[in-house]
Structure 1
């Protein structure tokens, strides 16, 4: 059975724990000043929607969020799957839900920043497989050797 995916508040103990595991996973991959992590409290803001995948037992096993920046642009943030479910398509399923929500909101562009160092290859494959293309730095992200930027047009 495919886990269910729904918008949820990140202000739950299991989601807080998942964010801690995500941060621990990312910590050794790039210098701290090049890690742009939303806190759980920021993820709970009115400009963000967090999507959580839960298995049959109701355990949170993956997540991702959409942060809306303006009437045109949304950003994919905090994508993570627990180690025991990686490679099963949950990241793509969450990314598809994020894109559907962005389209529902009338956004015309999705962007994201991810790491550019070894360890991020699965993320690159996920985003490129979902139709994202590399782009230059956006918003206030610094252009550095530690970041890779992607975008996807949602205009038909």
Structure 2
């Protein structure tokens, strides 16, 4: 899996068809059609909305889609099971529809199966926050989280975001997430925005 999402800004349907065998064309095109209304939403995406990375389609998606809802509900359950309630900052599906948030989903290019999600909350013109990073249990170990993060980083750079922040847990459950962020150059820092000092929260930043 590459560490940068090479997103197409023109001819989305054509670019996917060119890269896929004939038997996969209808699946790739149908996925684009399903997302058409989301891509045209008020939540901005300055780069092309779909990236095809090694058989994984990463595109702007609907946090209220049925399969996405199921994954987000699982995510919230795990957050509350792993951290004190007052330390859980994961967003629910309704909150993820806020205009300040752009929401991505990673799907299998052949089947459309949901593999993972991630979101960007834009605080202002130059400050962003990574939210709702989650990989489905069946897709773990395939580099899905890395691919989603790479796509979000590309979008941040295209928008002129200079600083990307995030909050995650300090418990062992969150060790793989902290390792992923360290791999991409995130550095530990103190609380930002409305967060406060919390023994159950770890804060990170990345200069872009």
TM-score norm. by structure 2 comes to: 0.72
In the other structure, the counterpart of 2:21 is: none
Q: Where do 5+ consecutive residues of structure 1 fail to align?
A: none
Paired with 2:62 and 2:203, the residues of 1 have a C-alpha distance of 27
Partner of residue 113 from structure 1, selected from 167, 182, 188:
167
Kept in 2, the 8 Å contact 1:29–1:118? The answer is: no
In the other structure, the counterpart of 2:28 is: none
Q: 1:69-93, CA deviations, whole angstroms, 9 ceiling, x for partnerless residues?
A: 0111000000000112112211011
In the other structure, the counterpart of 1:77 is: 131
Paired with 1:24 and 1:88, the residues of 2 have a C-alpha distance of 23
In the other structure, the counterpart of 2:118 is: 64
Give how far 1:13 is off: 1.1
Give how far 1:46 is off: 1.1
Rg comparison, structure with higher value: 2
Which structure's residues are more often helix, by fraction?
2
Q: 1:123-146, CA deviations, whole angstroms, 9 ceiling, x for partnerless residues?
A: 011100011111111011111110
In the other structure, the counterpart of 1:142 is: 196
Partner of residue 27 from structure 1, selected from 62, 80, 92:
80
In the other structure, the counterpart of 1:94 is: 148
Aligned residues: CA RMSD: 1.0
In the other structure, the counterpart of 1:9 is: 62
Paired with 1:12 and 1:107, the residues of 2 have a C-alpha distance of 28
Which structure's residues are more often strand, by fraction?
1
Give how far 1:2 is off: 2.6
Task: Give the 4+ runs in structure 1 shifted more than 6 A.
Answer: none
Paired with 2:82 and 2:180, the residues of 1 have a C-alpha distance of 18
2:161 matches 1:104: no
Q: Where do 5+ consecutive residues of structure 2 fail to align?
A: 1-53
SS of match in other structure, 1:119 = helix
Q: 1:41-94, CA deviations, whole angstroms, 9 ceiling, x for partnerless residues?
A: 111111111110011211111000000001110000000001121122110110
Paired with 1:25 and 1:10, the residues of 2 have a C-alpha distance of 18
Kept in 1, the 8 Å contact 2:76–2:92? The answer is: no
